[in-house]
Amino acid sequence: MTSPRVVIVGGGFAGIEAARALAKYAETLAPVDIILVDRQNHHCFQPLLYQVATAALSPADIAWPIRSILNRQPNLRVIMAKVTGVDTQARIVHTDELDLPYDYLVLASGVTHAYFGHDEWESVAPGLKQLEDARHIRARFLLAFERAEIADDEALRRKLLTFVIVGGGPTGVEMAGSMAEVAKETLKSDFREIDPRMSRIVLIEAGPRILPALPENLSNYAQRALEKMGVEVLVNTKVTDCDADGVSLGDTRIDASTIVWAAGVVASPAAQWIHAEHDRAGRIMVAPDLSVPGLQNVFVAGDLASVKDQDGKPVPGIAPAAKQMGRYIGRLIAARVAGETDNKPFVYSHAGDLATVGRRAAVVKIGRFELTGFIGWLFWGIAHIYFLIGLRNRFVVAVTWLWSYLTFRRGARLISTGDNNSVVIPEGARRSRVNPRSV
């Protein structure tokens, strides 16, 4: 007799935790065959992606091969392929490479950026979900200074040195703070024709305050800290248009050659694969045991799941929530396979919220504890290093951060995207002519 087959789609926090929990509990309960499928070969530590985008860390510092993370589990196989659909009748996951029959299915394919019906903004305002996105934003960010150095037109130079971040959640706040640090400190001695410290960094939030998940006093602290670093923070401000030359905010216009999108997410198309009920963002509505209503052997974990906590508030799309769901599902499937029918519902336990604003400034709320400033920043750093996978990554990131802190330098200032055409350079900058004698 063959063991029941569990297919897990996605190697993010939820998928990895589901695989680990399932492999662990299956050992003592009943054997299973596990397949984890992802279109990338690596698990990416998304909370630090913004540091790759702003040249502080290398992609490999925050990523790890999925099969290397899970190579201790003999009952687990990792497959690199892109899922194209699911046949819930025949119980088969279709991929671009091969078909994967399943007895149990765990969907954990996550979310991507949403442009609220303006998909045409994507090419000018890239978001930050994968390593490729980070490398792309890093290239655009650094290239803007290179172009500004050789631009001969003052308006063009101002546009090249204006950076707009749309969305005041943790990603937007961390990007804005980090970009300000690069412009004001890291690059300050490297150019001759421009002064990078004159860069304009604008953070735009549609709601009344940045970091809305945190209490108001911490939002205010973060805004003041950003402003002290020279970031312009605009709240209650909606972006009405984005193009290669800047953003429109109703009647106001900001000319900018670099726009980063951190304003919203939409689920991967998993709801369509299984014809499940979903919310406006495409997140699948799940039963209390995180299964899909009507499909008892299909579970949803991580950002892809639309789940409420005990107070009826939506469970946030953060790493600890994804891990908790993954662990719950792994354990539940192991129990089911072993014939247990007890179905304790999933209960989300919120550990806290935190975001770093820049050098020596972060906001942390854990239960009733609140931390800001240097202590909050230290806590933030230690927590992130602790959750990184792999001893080497922890060590290299810790050393790199210490080095950056002491020298104000950044170690990963490479402009390289693999495909230079994908970096949008304003046409004006490409054709500008300076009088080189004027150096």
Paired tokens of 234:
């605009």
* Residue 112 binds a second copy, judged by CB under 8 A: no
Known catalytic residue: 174? yes
Query: Between residues 80 and 266, which has the closer beta carbon with respect to a second copy?
Result: 80
Q: What is the closest distance, in whole angstroms, from the C-beta atom of residue 277 to a second copy in the complex? A: 29
* Residue 433 binds a second copy, judged by CB under 8 A: yes
Query: Between residues 109 and 237, which has the closer beta carbon with respect to a second copy?
Result: 109
* Residue 242 binds a second copy, judged by CB under 8 A: no
* Residue 136 binds a second copy, judged by CB under 8 A: yes
* Residue 419 binds a second copy, judged by CB under 8 A: yes
Give the angle subtended at the CA of 212 by the CAs of 353 and 55, to the nearest 5°. Answer: 65
Smallest Cα–Cα separation from 11: which of 62, 71, 79? 79
Q: What is the closest distance, in whole angstroms, from the C-beta atom of residue 382 to a second copy in the complex? A: 20
* Residue 436 binds a second copy, judged by CB under 8 A: yes
Write down the catalytic residue from 27, 120, 149, 174: 174
Site for a second copy in 191-210 (CB under 8 A): 191-193
Q: What is the closest distance, in whole angstroms, from the C-beta atom of residue 103 to a second copy in the complex? A: 11
Binding residue (CB under 8 A) for a second copy from 97, 232, 309, 370:
97
Dump the DSSP string for 365-404. EETTEEE-HHHHHHHHHHHHHHHSSSHHHHHHHHHHHHHH
**H/E segment holding residue 78:** strand 76-80
Binding residue (CB under 8 A) for a second copy from 9, 32, 63, 262:
63
Binding span for a second copy by CB under 8 A among 77-85, 257-265, 308-316, 338-346:
77-85
Neighbouring CB atoms inside 10 A of 153's CB total 14
Smallest Cα–Cα separation from 423: which of 201, 142, 58? 142
Phi, psi angle pair for 163, to nearest 5°: -120, 125
Binding span for a second copy by CB under 8 A among 105-113, 276-284, 351-359, 385-393:
385-393
* Distance of alpha carbon 281 from alpha carbon 258, whole angstroms: 26
Interface mask toward a second copy for 333-372; x: CB under 8 A? ----------------------------------------
* Distance of alpha carbon 293 from alpha carbon 315, whole angstroms: 19
Tokens 């949008």 map to which residue? 424
* Distance of alpha carbon 402 from alpha carbon 418, whole angstroms: 30
* Distance of alpha carbon 298 from alpha carbon 286, whole angstroms: 10
Beta strands in 102-257 (DSSP E): 104-107, 111-113, 162-166, 200-204, 231-234, 241-243, 246-249, 252-255
Residues noted as catalytic: 174
- What is the binding site for a second copy (CB under 8 A)? 2, 5, 33, 35, 40-42, 58-61, 63-65, 67-68, 71, 77-81, 96-101, 131-132, 135-136, 142-143, 146, 149-150, 189-193, 390-393, 395-396, 399-400, 403, 407, 409, 411-419, 422, 430, 432-434, 436-437, 439
